Structure 1
Amino acid sequence: MAHVLRGLDGVVAATSGVTQITDERLFYRGIAVEDLFAHSTHEEVIFLLWEGRLPMAEELAAFRDRLAGEAHVPAELYTFLARLPRTAPPMSLLRALVDAASLLDEDAEKRTPEARRTVALRLVARMPLFAAAVGRHRAGKEVETAVEAAAGDGKLARAFLRAFRGEEPPEEDVRVLDRTFLLHADHELNASTFVARSVASTLSDMYSAVVAAVGALKGPLHGGANEGVMTMLEEIGPEGDWMRYVADKLARKERIMGFGHRVYKRGDPRTPLLRSLAREVLSRRGEIVWLELAERIEAYMEEVKGLKPNVDYYAALVYRGLGIPKEMYPLMFAVARTAGWTAHLFEQYADNRLIRPRAVYVGPVSVPYVPIEQRDHERR
């Protein structure tokens, strides 16, 4: 029997020039994510992931203008969203919007590099507005006017916050969300990116690939982990017996959300950066107690299990500090990761081979066929 690696653990499935993970560090197109966090922006990182280099000032301005120009949401999608149940899972609503948007895009089925680039621009530009629309719809708030007021902004973090809140956000909030998006922009062949590339390998359209990626990101072991982190912290409470809570979960062999990583064993390089953002926004909000609770659990988990927090752990606290409801945390991940999904799709389409792995069969063999009359007789 062939050797099987469950979950494709350690299997190399593609070559890529987008993101590199090495020696517990993360690089976008060869540039350390710490340097980008300190000096760059989400939009500049999108350009970098797509083009393989940092833009000149004029190129970045033009790129932001193009994002702003593609950001408007077709009116039909507001009507469509209004007919969907407010109680539906946020990621399901987002998935529905992306899928419906493909039906209104004349470039969706075109296979030229130029058409795919236009589709990618629309996806990246509209995803913050889709996420804000979902949030407002679920909260029973007016959607179209608030979202359209933010549609012409080439700064994606500001566009989301303006649309979701229905008012101009403070620049310090925009900067924090922008840095958070930057850190989530890509991460090699994570589950949703692998799914997107698999769909694209059939030469299906880019919307279908991104819809599939959103579906993968919805899972609690991927994009839903940040929501799980906040749920855990709220169940404990700032004054709760956190050690007993965590110890009881470990005794029941239950997962502590936000800890451990398939790739990083000595620590996710994005964690300290997100911790710093969480400290900033929670301090402004007067809710630093949540960070203190998270840090106590972090120290305990490292002591008793040798596990370090991953990207989801402190991202959850950043989103709380920005006033984003926890059920929307996975949507924030999707907004940011659309940059990486589309960058990988460009690679897949440019040098495509159908992704078609094999499986080791473990079922019964040489089973004789029994006619239905005999089956009925034998079972009486």
Structure 2
Amino acid sequence: MAHHNLDNIDTSEYPHINRGLDGIVAFSTTKSSIDGQQGELIYSGYNIDTLAEYSSFEEVCFLLWNDRLPTESELKDLKKELIGQRNLPKPVLDYIKNTNKNAEPMAVLRTAVSMLADFEDGRDGNKAEENRAHAISMTAQIPTIIAAFDRSRKGKEIVAPLTEGSTAYNFLYMLNGEKPGEAAEKTMDLCLILHAEHGMNASTFTARTICATESDMFSAVTGAIGALKGPLHGGANTAVMNTLLELEKQGENADAVAFTKEKLAKKEKIMGFGHRVYKTFDPRARHLRKMSQKLSEETGHEKLYEWSEDMLKTMKEEKNIDPNVDFFSATVYYSIGIQPDLYTCIFAMSRVSGWSAHYMEQADNNRLVRPRALYIGEKNLDWTPIEKR
């Protein structure tokens, strides 16, 4: 293939050419604001630090869907609705039980979410009500899908969801078959809050683009899960954990500093560092860092935390880059007993709140997404008969 570059393009005619759409504004939104220079993240008006301290995941869902915090009775109603939607339709559960036990959890999640659409009733033409109902059912059922597949692939009995408790509490219960302690629930809940929404990332852009065709929310979330599955978007925290486990194989005296420098010398990418938007410490990583320290002490994984800190320092000194949300979330999930290949699924379980919020926002003021592609190939070539090629 001939390789064409953009050097001889008239930039006055095409002022906005950007690989990866860097800096291009595609949508306006009230869902979140990211200040990459300051390291600030806002969800619908509230700073992530405020939400991390005071709110719950359910409250954050309401905030993203309604652009305001719920009243006490609204929150109670939403929790009740979420609890009522946790069970999966039988064919979806059968699929989870019968699919390949070695399948990638994200692939199973993508397929199962797509199947959920087959069991949704219409809402008598009220689009806004229908969208709200779909957002609630997917937010309630995705945790069940993840936990059911994890248990099924291990040959364990699938645990039915509880008719009480928070999303975080119920998920850990279904995953482990026992009710979690307060610290684990609080940790899980905080992880869900921190991953709920994050501007116009690849998966959210995908969800809005699908919505813009007037396709349904299940299609949009299925597409978003497909985008999140890629290692450059959602798969990084699994890669981070695998790096730490690689270190662990070297035993008690593993040297994280030397390990990191060696990887850099070989030009290998160190996952969990750097971000397309943040040019400073990811505000979500600050919260996860504190949690990671506390949990690693409680669960006897101090080494993992120490190595993380060593890697962080080395990356800052050598490359001047800071960690992103994936870096510490890996150790946090590992400390509460979640397997590395489920990390991206948990990201999806949280981010469905943001995806559905963006879907509803797009639907309210829709325009079909149609960027231009700049053609840089040849034109009007002469035809060569096949025997002469």
Q: TM-score, normalised by structure 1?
A: 0.94
C-alpha distance in structure 2 between counterparts of 1:249 and 1:361, whole Å: 38
Deviations along 1:38-89, one digit per CA (max 9) or x if unpaired, are 1111111111111111111111111101111112111221111122101011
C-alpha distance in structure 2 between counterparts of 1:78 and 1:100, whole Å: 10
Partner of 2:18: 5
Give the alignment partner of residue 255 of structure 1, picking from 252, 269, 286.
269
Give the alignment partner of residue 217 of structure 1, picking from 228, 233, 238.
228
Displacement after TM superposition at 1:369 (Å): 2.7
Partner of 2:204: 193
Question: Does the C-alpha gap of structure 1 residues 342 and 208 become closer, same or farther in structure 2, counting only changes over 3 Å?
Answer: same
Q: Which range is displaced more, 299-308 or 359-368?
A: 359-368
Please tell me whether the aligned partners of residues 72 and 126 of structure 1 are also in contact (alpha carbons under 8 angstroms): yes
Q: How does 1:343-358 map to 2 (within 5 A)?
A: 343-358=357-372
Partner of 2:3: none
Percentage of identical aligned residues: 39
Partner of 2:238: 227
Give the alignment partner of residue 87 of structure 2, picking from 53, 57, 72.
72
Task: Extract unaligned runs of 5+ from structure 2.
Answer: 1-8
Please tell me whether the aligned partners of residues 96 and 145 of structure 2 are also in contact (alpha carbons under 8 angstroms): no
Q: Which range is displaced more, 39-48 or 251-260?
A: 251-260
Give the alignment partner of residue 306 of structure 2, picking from 292, 296, 308.
292
C-alpha distance in structure 2 between counterparts of 1:274 and 1:97, whole Å: 29
1:205 maps onto 2:219 in alignment:
no
Displacement after TM superposition at 1:106 (Å): 2.1
Please tell me whether the aligned partners of residues 110 and 116 of structure 1 are also in contact (alpha carbons under 8 angstroms): no
Partner of 1:101: 116
One-letter amino acid matched to 1:59: E
Q: How does 1:47-86 map to 2 (within 5 A)?
A: 47-86=62-101
SS at structure 2 position matched to 1:270: helix
Please tell me whether the aligned partners of residues 87 and 141 of structure 2 are also in contact (alpha carbons under 8 angstroms): yes
Matched residue pairs, number?
Answer: 371
Deviations along 1:144-166, one digit per CA (max 9) or x if unpaired, are xx1x2x24235110111010111
C-alpha distance in structure 1 between counterparts of 2:163 and 2:207, whole Å: 28
Please tell me whether the aligned partners of residues 292 and 328 of structure 2 are also in contact (alpha carbons under 8 angstroms): yes
Please tell me whether the aligned partners of residues 102 and 108 of structure 1 are also in contact (alpha carbons under 8 angstroms): no
Partner of 1:167: 178
Displacement after TM superposition at 1:111 (Å): 6.5
1:304 maps onto 2:318 in alignment:
yes
C-alpha distance in structure 2 between counterparts of 1:335 and 1:214, whole Å: 10
C-alpha distance in structure 1 between counterparts of 2:125 and 2:114, whole Å: 16
Q: TM-score, normalised by structure 2?
A: 0.92
C-alpha distance in structure 1 between counterparts of 2:20 and 2:94, whole Å: 40
Q: CA RMSD in A?
A: 1.5
Question: Does the C-alpha gap of structure 1 residues 207 and 76 become closer, same or farther in structure 2, counting only changes over 3 Å?
Answer: same
